[in-house]
């Protein structure tokens, strides 16, 4: 029986983050507004951690027993209990605000390696127990929610702890120049690509601003989130392009980026000529247990170009976090278009957070349902054995 009382997280809108941070930092530290942030976060952050830990415990025992997963659990438990120490500390306590800030920074640093460590835990499970469709489905469902909660958790911490910046409000740039982030992500991916292949495709960028033609496209957004998505897409495009066209007399074909702004959507499309992907494989690319590259070492000194299987699904979570999305459109034999969709209006960019309820619990408890469509591996049947007698 699912009888534990559930307290769900408070969804915030992008503009709330901006408004909140403006109050905390207005050129100097505003003590009254920092107290407001403290009072909100000392309640909200433990809720988000507790919900995550509750859901972790619904995972299969075989996965929970893996060393890397145990380590992540330990980090979350430690952070949860550290935050609980502030539950009864008054905001007027002269040391409470500074202690809280230091604790948040320690927690953020502790959780820096959650993604590769959890990815390693999934790999450990696969190597020991192989592939199980039901467990794989649960892992996919859980990790989407787990990583979304992690994104939101770090977002709140950064808004409270980031030092004043002349252009940014916490993690948010109210005038984020999208083409500049595209260029930065490309240049970084290019350096990584050149370490592996000694060459990288060139980039061509176009902008189409339907709201204000001839003006650069800007948005109220988190540049680091956008960078993360673009860096992953460029890495994938460069790897595919290099592997298909290696040794070609014509050289490497361009990667093209288009940035567009309409009434509702801000979109970024990355197009490559890397050979594309078969339609039946597209969904697999967003699966945490699937990768087309060899598994990298966590101890590697080089940034891995691919291999954990977490790059695309987590990038999609970043896009969806503020009500956007990330989609792939591929033509096998030609190339792939990857499109990031963001909300054009910050007032529509509210957090998309997992809800912890009985439906979530039932997802982990129920077995895989029967397929209610014909199975291509069995259909069409051999009709010759049904010949009518003459």
Cα separation, 330 vs 241, in Å, equals 14
Q: Look up 8 and say whether it is catalytic.
A: no
For 190-197, the CB contacts below 8 A with 24+ separation are 190/234, 190/238, 192/235, 192/302, 192/303, 192/305, 193/235, 193/238, 193/239, 193/242, 193/305, 195/302, 195/303, 196/239, 196/242, 196/305, 197/238, 197/242, 197/246
Q: Look up 236 and say whether it is catalytic.
A: yes
Alpha helix positions (H), the chain? 14-24, 31-56, 61-64, 67-84, 96-110, 114-129, 133-161, 178-197, 223-245, 279-282, 311-321, 358-365
> 268 to each of 139, 206, 292, how far by Cα in Å?
29, 10, 24
Contact predicate 106/81, CB 8 Å: no
Q: Which residues pair with 326 in a beta bridge?
A: 340
Distance of CA 342 to the CA centre of its chain: 14
Q: Look up 74 and say whether it is catalytic.
A: no
Cα separation, 261 vs 263, in Å, equals 7
Phi/psi of residue 189, each to 5°?
-65, -35
Cα separation, 250 vs 248, in Å, equals 5
Residue from 190, 236, 310, 351 carrying the catalytic annotation = 236
Residue from 235, 256, 310, 343 carrying the catalytic annotation = 235
Give me the torsion for CA of 21, 22, 25, 28, rounded to 10°.
Answer: 180
Q: Look up 228 and say whether it is catalytic.
A: yes
Contact predicate 270/260, CB 8 Å: no
Distance of CA 11 to the CA centre of its chain: 17
Whose CA is closest to 100, among 157, 19, 165, 163?
157
Alpha helix positions (H), 1-132? 14-24, 31-56, 61-64, 67-84, 96-110, 114-129
Residue from 228, 256, 269, 310 carrying the catalytic annotation = 228
**Prior bond of 380 cis (ω within 30°):** yes
User: Which residues are part of the catalytic machinery?
Assistant: 228, 232, 235-236
């Amino acid at each position: 029986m699912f009888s534990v009382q559930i307290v769900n997280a408070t969804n915030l809108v992008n503009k709330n983050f901006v408004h909140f941070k403006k109050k905390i930092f207005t050129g100097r530290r505003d003590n009254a507004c920092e107290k407001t942030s403290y009072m909100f976060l000392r309640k909200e952050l433990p809720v988000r951690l507790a919900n995550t830990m509750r859901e972790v415990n619904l995972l299969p025992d075989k996965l929970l027993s893996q060393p890397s997963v145990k380590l992540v659990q330990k980090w979350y438990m430690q952070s949860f209990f550290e935050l609980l120490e502030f539950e009864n500390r008054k905001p007027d306590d002269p040391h409470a605000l500074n202690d809280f800030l230091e604790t948040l920074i320690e927690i953020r640093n502790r959780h820096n390696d959650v993604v590769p460590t959890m990815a390693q835990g999934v790999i450990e499970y696969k190597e020991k127990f192989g592939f199980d469709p039901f467990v794989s489905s649960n892992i996919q469902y859980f990790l989407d929610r787990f990583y979304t909660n992690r994104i939101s958790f770090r977002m709140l911490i950064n808004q409270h702890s980031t030092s004043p910046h002349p252009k940014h409000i916490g993690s948010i740039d109210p005038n984020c120049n999208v083409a500049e982030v595209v260029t930065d992500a490309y240049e970084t991916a290019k350096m990584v690509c050149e370490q592996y292949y000694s060459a990288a495709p060139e980039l061509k960028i176009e902008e189409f601003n339907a709201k204000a033609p001839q003006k650069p496209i800007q948005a109220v957004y988190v540049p680091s989130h956008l960078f993360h998505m673009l860096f992953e897409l460029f890495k994938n495009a460069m790897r595919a392009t290099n592997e298909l066209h290696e040794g070609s007399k014509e050289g490497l074909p361009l990667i093209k980026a288009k940035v567009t702004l309409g009434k509702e959507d801000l979109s970024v499309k990355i197009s490559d000529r890397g050979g594309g992907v078969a339609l039946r494989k597209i969904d697999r690319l967003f699966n945490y247990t699937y990768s087309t590259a060899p598994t990298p070492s966590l101890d590697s000194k080089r940034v891995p170009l691919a291999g954990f299987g977490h790059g695309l699904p987590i990038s999609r979570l970043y896009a969806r976090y503020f009500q956007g999305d990330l989609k792939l459109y591929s033509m096998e034999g030609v190339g792939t278009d990857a499109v990031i969709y963001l909300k054009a209006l910050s007032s529509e960019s509210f957090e998309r957070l997992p809800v912890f309820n009985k439906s979530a619990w039932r997802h982990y408890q129920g077995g895989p349902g029967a397929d209610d469509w014909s199975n291509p591996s069995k259909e069409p049947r051999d009709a010759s054995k049904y010949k009518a007698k003459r």
